[in-house]
Amino acid sequence: MKKWTPALFSSQLESILKEHEIEIKEASSKEMYYAISSLISQEIERNWKKTEKRYHSKRPKQLYYLSMEFLIGGLLKNNLFHYDMLDTCNQAMTELGFDPDQIYQEERDPGLGNGGLGRLAACFLDSLAALQYPGHGYGIRYRYGLFEQRIINGYQTELPDYWLDSPYPWEIRKIDEAVEIEYGGSVHMQQAEDGSFTFSYHNTDKVLAVPYDVPIIGFQNKVVNTLRLWSAEPADAVQQPDETEYYHQLEHHHAIEQISGFLYPDDSSEEGKWLRLKQQYFLVAASLQKILKDYQENVRKSLSKLPDKVVIQINDTHPSLAIPEMMRILMDEESLGWDEAWQITSNMFAYTNHTIMSEALEKWPVTVMHQLLPRLYMIINEINERFCRDIWEGHTELRERISEMAIIADGYVHMARLAVVGSFSVNGVAKLHTQILKTQELKDFYQLYPKRFNNKTNGITHRRWLLMANPRLAEVITETISSHWIKRPRELTHLLRHINDKPLLDQLDIIKNENKQKLADYIQQTTGILVDHQSIFDVQIKRLHEYKRQLLNTFHVIYLYNELKENPLLDITPRTFIFAAKAAPSYYFAKEVIKLINTVASVVNHDPAIKGKLKVVFLENYNVSLAEKIIPAVDLSEQISTAGKEASGTGNMKMMMNGALTIGTLDGANIEMKQLVSEANIFLFGLQSDEVFQYYQTGEYQANELYQTDDRLAKILDQLRDGYFGHEFKDIYYQLLSTNDPYFILKDFDDYVETHQHIDQTYRNKDSWLSKSLVNIAHSGKFSSDRTIREYATSIWKL
C-alpha cells in the first residue's frame, strides 16, 4: 500500500476533482465527500479483487449471513479509518480549509434496518473482515430505508427516506450477475420412466434480482469482503406498442420494483403482509442461486460436499424460506432425491433467534404461502409431514406436543419451527435468552434436539463504537495500556490496574466533559434547548416499545418534577434526560409515549421553578450517526426492559464501552455485564425474569392496588387522566390499568426511583463514579463482536 501523506492525499483529490472540472479550493463539502470516496474506492478495488482471487484459489469454507436488514451507518470515515488514512485525510482537509466532520456528515446513513437486529448484522460484517474470515452479507437494497422521523408539535411524523436521492458511492451494480426469480404460477408433476418425479412450473411471474455490491473493509489487513444487496427489476423491458397493454406492463413493472421498494418499519413485531413475504423469498432465492453458482464454479465438487464449503447463518426467521428453497433447487433443478437433499440442506443452515415475544414470532397464512410460492409450500408440507411422523414414531414422549410443534398448524406456516427443524444450530443472543428458549419458548424442540441449541452473546464492533466514535478516549486507553487492546479488546481489563490512578480518572473526566459539551451544542442547535453539561446525562436511546419501558423512565421524570414543584429546595444533582426513539408508524401506544415525553419536556424545560435542575430532551430521527454522537457523552445508560423481554440489547454494550454506568433490569446481556463488573459497578433494580414469569402464570399481580396505595404513582396517573399535561394522555392511564400493566411499570417504579436516588448520591463522589466508569470500560472488551464472531466461527461455522 502507498504511504499516504496529506500532500499526496490532496494532490490525488485535486486530480479527481479536475476530471469533473472542479477546482479543489472551490469544491463544496458534498463534492469533497464524493472525491474522497472515489479516492479510497480505488484503494478498495485492488484489495477487493485480491481477496476474491484468494478465495477463488484457496477455496476456504464460506459463510453467508442472510439478513433482511443491515444497518451499516456511514462508510466514509469507517473506510478511511480501516485503511489508516483517517488522520491523513483530516489533516489534508484542515490544511485545505475544510471542516472534516462537515464532509463526513454529507454521507447519508443507509437506513436499511430498524434497530438492533440490523445493526448486529453490520457489526458482524465488520468483525468478519477484521478477523479475516471469508464471510459475506446478503440483503436487500431497499429504495426507501426506514422512515425519517421528525417531531412536529411533539408528535412523530414520518418522512420517506429516499436515501438514493444522490448516488451512493460505495455500491457497484453487477448487472451481469443478475438472476431470475419466479413467483406464483402452477406446479406440474411428471413421472419419468424410472418412477421418479420431475416438477415444472408454469405461468410464473418473473423478476430480475440485480446485485449491488458494497465492500466491507477489514481493519488494516487488506481484506475486502462483500455485502451484496439485491434490487428487484423487471425481467423484460416494456415494449408493447398497444397503449392499454403498455400501461398494463408499466403497472406490472412498478409492482415488481416494489419488491425492493421499502423496508417494513416494524421492530420486534411482524406485519403479515403479502409484499413482505415476497421480499423474503426475493432475498433467499437470489442469494441461494448466487451461492450455488459460486460453489459450482469454484469448488467443482459434488453437491453432497456443499456443507463442507458453505454455511448459511439466518438472522432471525425472516430468511428461513432458504431452507425449503434449497430443497427445491437440489431436487427440482439438480435432480437429487429427498433424503440426499435433506441431508445437505439441514447441514448448511444455522438459525439465530432474536426474540421471545409472541407478537414477533413469524407465521404466514397457508393460503398466502400456497398462492405466492406453490412449490415451496409443497416442500414445507413434506418437511412438516416427515417431521411429525418422526415424532410420532420416534419420540412418543412428545406425541401430545405435536400440534404445538408442527410447522403447519391452525392454518399457518410457523417460521421459527421451520427454522429449527431445518438447521443444525439454533442460537439465542445472550445467556438468559438462550436459557428461556430452552426452558420455555422452544422447550419441546430442545427436548427433541438438545445438541442443536447454543448461546452466542451479541457484541458490537469496538472499532466503530469506541475508536471512531470516541477517539480521545481510545487514545487515553492506548497511552495507559498500550495499543494491544485494539486487536485484542479483552485486554481492556489491563485498565483495572488503574482504577485508583487519579491522573487517569481526571483525564476520563475531561474527555467525558468534552463529549458532553459537544452533545450539548448539538442539542442546542437541533432543538434550541440549553442543557447543563455538568448535569448527569441520563440517556435512553432505542426503538420505542412498551417492553423497553420508556414510559417507566418518563414516570421517573414526572415524579422528580412533582417533587421539585412541592419542594423547590430539594437537593438533587442536576439531570438531563435524553431520549431518542422511533416508533413503528402503526404503533399507537408508542407514538403516544413520544408525545408524552415531548410534552413533559416542554413543561419541565420552561418551568422557572425547576431552576434548570431538570432538562428533558427528545432527539429526533435516531439512527447510527446520531448514536455515534450521543453515546460518547452518556453518564447513565437506561436498560430497563421488563425482565425476560429483551433478548440481549447492544445499545447497553456501546454505552458501557464508552464509560457509562448502567441502570438496568436483570435482562438480556445486562446480566453478563453484571457478572463482569460486579454489583458495585452497575445499578440493578426491579423484578427478575422468573418473577415476571410467575406473575404471568399465577395472575397474582394487581396493578390497581399499586395505584391505590402509592401516592406518587396515583399522582402521576391522575395527572395523565385529568389532563395535567394535556388531554390526550388519558389513553395511557386507561390502557395501563385496564390491561393490568403487562410490562410491570407500576410494579418496578418504587425500586427504580430508589435506585435513581442512589445514583444521585453516587455521582456526587466524582472519583468513585469515574473509577466505576473505568471498571465498565475495562470489562467491555468481552462485548466486542470480534469475540462473538470467533465463537460463531469456531463452534457453528467451522471456518
Which residues of the chain form contacts with ligand PLP (CB under 6 A)?
Answer: 115-116, 119, 542-543, 622-624, 627, 649-651, 654
Looking from the CA of 557 toward its CB, the CA atoms found within 13 Å total: 28
Is residue 548 annotated as part of the catalytic site, yes or no? yes
Query: Closest approach of Cβ 727 to ligand PLP, in Å?
Result: 31
Q: Which of residues 417 and 645 has its CB atom nearest to ligand PLP in the complex?
A: 645
Catalytic residue among 354, 498, 549, 782: 354
Query: Closest approach of Cβ 126 to ligand PLP, in Å?
Result: 13
Q: Which of residues 108 and 414 has its CB atom nearest to ligand PLP in the complex?
A: 108
CA angle 221, 226, 230 (to 5 degrees): 165
- Classify 204 as helix, strand or coil: coil
Ordered strands of the 363-365 beta sheet: 363-365, 412-414, 408-409
Catalytic residue among 108, 119, 143, 543: 543
Catalytic residue among 143, 498, 548, 779: 548
Q: Is the dihedral of CA 406, 407, 413, 414 positive or negative?
A: positive
Output the nine-digit C-alpha cell for 799: 471456518
Q: Which H or E run contains 62? A: strand 62-66
Cα dihedral: 78, 82, 83, 86 (round 10) = 50
Q: Which of residues 465 and 792 has its CB atom nearest to ligand PLP in the complex?
A: 465
Q: Which H or E run contains 266? A: none
Q: Which of residues 507 and 641 has its CB atom nearest to ligand PLP in the complex?
A: 641
Cα(326)–Cα(681) distance, integer angstroms: 49
Residue whose beta carbon is closest to ligand PLP: 651
- 612 Rama sector, left if φ>0, alpha if ψ -120 to 50, beta otherwise: left
Query: Closest approach of Cβ 119 to ligand PLP, in Å?
Result: 4
Q: Are 77 and 468 in contact (CB under 8 A)?
A: yes
Query: Closest approach of Cβ 738 to ligand PLP, in Å?
Result: 27
Q: Which of residues 31 and 267 has its CB atom nearest to ligand PLP in the complex?
A: 267
Tell me phi and psi for residue 693, to 5 degrees: -60, -45
Q: Which residues pair with 66 in a beta bridge?
A: 138, 314
Is residue 542 annotated as part of the catalytic site, yes or no? yes
Query: Closest approach of Cβ 640 to ligand PLP, in Å?
Result: 10
Give helix 766-779 / helix 670-677 axis angle, nearest 10°.
110
Query: Closest approach of Cβ 440 to ligand PLP, in Å?
Result: 22
**Residue whose C-alpha cell reads 391522575 in the numeric block:** 718
Cα(136)–Cα(121) distance, integer angstroms: 10
Q: Which of 361, 506, 372 is nearest to 420 (CA)?
A: 361
Is residue 543 annotated as part of the catalytic site, yes or no? yes
Q: Is the dihedral of CA 705, 708, 713, 717 positive or negative?
A: positive
Q: Which of residues 121 and 288 has its CB atom nearest to ligand PLP in the complex?
A: 121
Query: Closest approach of Cβ 656 to ligand PLP, in Å?
Result: 12
| Helix/strand number for the chain, H first, E second | 33, 23
Cα dihedral: 546, 549, 550, 556 (round 10) = 140
Looking from the CA of 764 toward its CB, the CA atoms found within 13 Å total: 8
Q: Which of 46, 45, 57, 101 is nearest to 76 (CA)?
A: 101
Q: Which of residues 150 and 766 has its CB atom nearest to ligand PLP in the complex?
A: 150
Q: Which residues pair with 380 in a beta bridge?
A: none
Q: Which of residues 520 and 631 has its CB atom nearest to ligand PLP in the complex?
A: 631
Query: Closest approach of Cβ 461 to ligand PLP, in Å?
Result: 11
Q: Which of residues 543 and 779 has its CB atom nearest to ligand PLP in the complex?
A: 543
Catalytic residue among 228, 512, 654, 779: 654
Is residue 49 annotated as part of the catalytic site, yes or no? no
Query: Closest approach of Cβ 627 to ligand PLP, in Å?
Result: 4
Q: Which of residues 111 and 422 has its CB atom nearest to ligand PLP in the complex?
A: 111
CA–chain centroid gap for 685, Å, is: 26
Instruction: Kindly provide the residue ranges of all beta strands, DSSP E only, lying in 338-479, ordered along the sequence.
Output: 349-352, 363-365, 408-409, 412-414, 425-428, 453-455
Output the nine-digit C-alpha cell for 564: 421539585
Q: Which of residues 35 and 631 has its CB atom nearest to ligand PLP in the complex?
A: 631
Output the nine-digit C-alpha cell for 556: 421517573
CA distances from 165 to 161, 213, 625 (A): 9, 18, 18
- Classify 377 as helix, strand or coil: helix
**Three-state secondary structure readout of 307-351:** HHHEEEEEECCCCCCHHHHHHHHHHHHCCCCHHHHHHHHCCCEEE
Query: Closest approach of Cβ 548 to ligand PLP, in Å?
Result: 7
CA–chain centroid gap for 75, Å, is: 17
The alpha-carbon radius of gyration of the chain (Å, integer) is 27
Q: Which H or E run contains 230? A: strand 224-234
Query: Closest approach of Cβ 639 to ligand PLP, in Å?
Result: 7
Cα(333)–Cα(190) distance, integer angstroms: 14
| Pairing of β 349-352 and β 575-580 | unpaired
Query: Closest approach of Cβ 420 to ligand PLP, in Å?
Result: 24
Q: Which of residues 498 and 548 has its CB atom nearest to ligand PLP in the complex?
A: 548
Q: Which residues are catalytic?
A: 354, 542-543, 548, 650, 654
